[in-house]
A and B are shown apart, each in its own frame.
Chain A
Amino acid sequence: MPPLIDVRDLKKTYQLGEVTVSALAGVTVSIERGSYVAIMGPSGSGKSTFMNLLGCLDRPTSGQYLLDSIPVEGLDRDHLAEIRNQKIGFIFQNFNLLPRMSALENVELPLLYQDHDTPDADDLAEHALMLVGLAHREHNFPAQLSGGEQQRVAIARAMINKPEIILADEPTGALDSRTSAEIMNIFERLNRTQGITIVLVTHSDEIATHADRIIGFRDGLVVSDAPVIHSRQTSEKVVAVLRVPVEVPQ
């Protein structure tokens, strides 16, 4: 079976006036179905650009990107939108819930942009909320929910279209450590029990150790790529692994 994500020599440059900035300088990564990957790196290392490309929110300047065997690097706006709708669930640091809609309506939102009708939208959304433990809050508005609850609504929203992959950009960045742990538990459950591929960006070593694999970025390149040894006592070793630069593919 081919990998879910197969990225080859992906490059992205921006034109800032006269200057050409290279945000991604040729990244080759493949991510297997059902894996749980953490992406780390200092700001400006290209990890956000990489996530935007993975999420089909942006198109690369050059290189190849096969998502579920579909070459997506050349698709137009609306095709990319369709792929985002069908295959990708997004989790943002700031939740990005629509404030005027109830939790239930927020969760149903991706169904609105499907090509076909979903008559049982309410049931699906209720089920998704139940999975994140918020069945009783479905009629609350985002402002009436705590940060952790809002992020759980966002996860339910990401899950409703049964995506292949969840892309989470610092999902716990705005949460305290206890709520962060809850959110990480949900991710872990989704990954282990439902086999959903998760790629998450984080600054926290602690969060990163929940993943199976950690990819490090610097200056638009992958500088480390290593599996996590799953032993809770050895998280320091894992971090040590991170600091060892891997051979950079040219």
Chain B
Amino acid sequence: MKKLRQSMRIAFRALTMNKLRSALTMLGIVIGVASVIATVAIGSGATQRIQDQIASIGSNIIIVIPGSTTTSGVRLGTGNAVTLSEADAKELPAQCPDVALAAPLVRGGAQVVYGNNNWATIIYGVTPDYLTIRELSVADGAEFTQQDVDGANKVAVLGKTVVDNLFGGADAIGQTIRIKNVPFAVVGILTPKGQSSQGQDQDDVILLPISTAKRKVIGINAANADAVNTIMMQAKSGTQIPAAQEEAQALLRQRHHLQTVEADDFTIRNLQELFAAQEASSSIMAIMLAAVASVSLVVGGIGIMNIMLISVRERTREIGLRQAIGAKTRDILTQFLVEAVTLSIAGGLVGIVLGIAASSVISRLAGWATAVGPGAVLLAVFFSGLVGIGFGYYPARKAAYLDPIEALRYE
């Protein structure tokens, strides 16, 4: 311990003797570490944004849509069949232990009128569970209730975009809007969610009780009055998503009386799969950026090696003297290694500060999200230390194995 402290003192003195040289040597590491920190920050910022988008849709969501059907040889696309029903949605959480909630959904578009204003928007007919699953909340007013669904009440919950376009600045709660000439009372306004990952405005929407939506706005499917466009499910936890998916599949096959040879007449998707692909591509990008940045770290390491070799040469006589008075191989090795590591760690610390500054400038100028985690910082310190040891070892070893007689005679 005493020896290490002594070595650090010797190293510090040697480095401060030649301030400009030490600073220039450190610069390589500073740039390397700063660029690693900045690129990792941009990469994890992108990942963070994807995770935020997943969270904005709702967590642990599984979506069930009807499969394609073949009618008289004409295959219709996925989602056109009317195989899913409100009854399916009711049975799913009751029978599947890993499914927490399931909400049926019907979808349609409509022109909405209030006073002199009108606006075309998407209408969702849903149950209150839908708001829970999507993690929607009302900023103003109230959600509609199961009673509203049961009684097919003409109440509406509006997205922020709809409110802005119909009401301008006026208070919307309690007002009556007309959808397809049917009057609806506005009971709530949703908390804004912003854009979805596909750039869709998630606030340009009106939620109605599913019963009212079917009867008054979207229309009842002729083939099956109970039919819905989508069932949204929530698994009890992220790890239960695959189990919930399997249980739902089994239950729906059973309820739809499908034989083993028949294909599913529905499709189950979870959003994790969708976002996993996006996350993978963004992390590949991040890894590539970090790889490029680490090249500069290696270049910085070569700079350290270069300076250490010069330093060993300049101090040959000092090394010879230290050997003559009893310094062992290990003592000299430690002395020069500590010097190299001091250079690289100091450079690393400056680089971290610079990297954090750079990433905050980037996120401000380019509008990219960046995130500097403690992991990245620790990794940067670790790697700059490693670079110091790695590139300092050869010069230090060279110093340690000098012949004391030749070293003492060196001019």
Contact = CB atoms under 8 A, between A and B. Distances in A.
For the complex, would chain B's binding face be called helix, strand, loop or mixed by DSSP majority?
Answer: helix
Contact of B13 (A90, A92, A100, A113): A100
B398 to A, nearest CB: 14
A237 interface: no
A77 B408 contact: no
Interface in A59-94: 77-78, 81-82, 84-86, 90, 92
B327 A96 contact: no
Contacts of A85: 325-326
Contacts of B405: 52, 57-58
Given A96-B317, A117-B2, A55 B328 contact: no
B350 interface: no
Contacts, number: 58
In the complex, which of the residues A52, A55, A98, A112 has the most CB atoms of chain B within 10 Å of its own CB atom?
A: A112
Contacts of A100: 13-14, 17
A84 B408 contact: no
Contacts of A96: 317, 320-321, 324, 408
Interface in A87-118: 90, 92, 96, 98, 100, 109-110, 112-114, 117
B140 interface: no
Contacts of A114: 326
Nearest to B318: A98
Contact of B325 (A78, A90, A117): A90
B404 interface: yes
Contact of B322 (A58, A82, A113): A113
B326 A113 contact: yes
A157 interface: yes
Interface string B1-39: 011001000000110010000000000000000000000
B247 interface: no
A161 B326 CA distance: 11
Interface residues of A, number: 24
B22 to A, nearest CB: 14
B344 interface: no
Nearest to A49: B405
Contacts of B13: 100
A171 to B, nearest CB: 14
Contact of A77 (B317, B318, B325, B329): B329
Interface string B338-353: 0000000000000000
Contacts of A58: 405
A47 B323 CA distance: 21
B318 A84 contact: no
Given A57-B405, A96-B324, A112-B331, 7 more contacts: A52-B405, A57-B324, A77-B329, A84-B325, A85-B326, A92-B408, A113-B327
14 contacts: A52-B405, A57-B404, A78-B329, A81-B323, A86-B326, A92-B408, A96-B321, A96-B408, A100-B14, A112-B3, A112-B6, A112-B327, A113-B325, A157-B325
